[in-house]
């Protein structure tokens, strides 16, 4: 049994009991609630790896961005915590 992450709220969602699911760019996303699915439907790029690069630059700065991209760390929470050490 796999636990999937709700891309909107970050909750772990059981595939079997997920309230909603949606296919996006060949991947199936699972949601804990319809409200999460609605948000995802309106702006899927905000919740997947298709994050706006300009937004990334604002978050982490130009230099760190290439490092982040290289390491595949498209996670604002992680970036935020590593960035605090400066
Ligand atoms: Zn959710």
Measured CA to CA in angstroms, residue 86 lies from 8, 26, 47, 53 at distances of 29, 38, 27, 22
Distance (angstroms) between ligand 1 centre and the Cα of 22 equals 13
What pLDDT shows up at residue 58?
75
Q: How far is the CA of 85 from the centre of ligand 1 (A)?
A: 30
Give the residue with greater pLDDT, 80 vs 62. 62
pLDDT at 45: 84
Q: Where are the domains of the chain?
A: 1-50, 51-86
User: How much distance in Å is there from the Cα of 82 to the middle of ligand 1?
Assistant: 25
**Tens digits of residue pLDDT in 22-79:** 999 899 999 999 999 999 999 998 888 655 666 667 777 767 767 766 777 656 555 5
More confident of the two residues 79 and 15: 15
pTM of the predicted model as reported, rounded to 2 decimal places: 0.56
Expressed in angstroms and rounded, the spacing between residue 40 Cα and the centre of ligand 1 is 10
**81 contact partners, CB below 8 Å, separation of at least 6:** none
Residue 21 and residue 49: Cα distance in Å, rounded?
18
């Amino acid at each position: 049994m796999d636990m999937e992450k709700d891309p909107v709220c970050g909750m772990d969602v059981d595939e079997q009991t997920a309230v909603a699911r949606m296919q996006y760019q060949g991947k199936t996303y699972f949601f804990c609630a319809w409200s999460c699915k609605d948000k995802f439907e309106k702006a899927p790029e905000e919740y997947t790896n298709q994050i706006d690069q300009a937004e990334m630059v604002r978050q982490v700065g130009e230099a760190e961005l290439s490092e982040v991209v290289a390491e595949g760390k498209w996670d604002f929470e992680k970036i935020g915590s590593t960035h605090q050490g400066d």
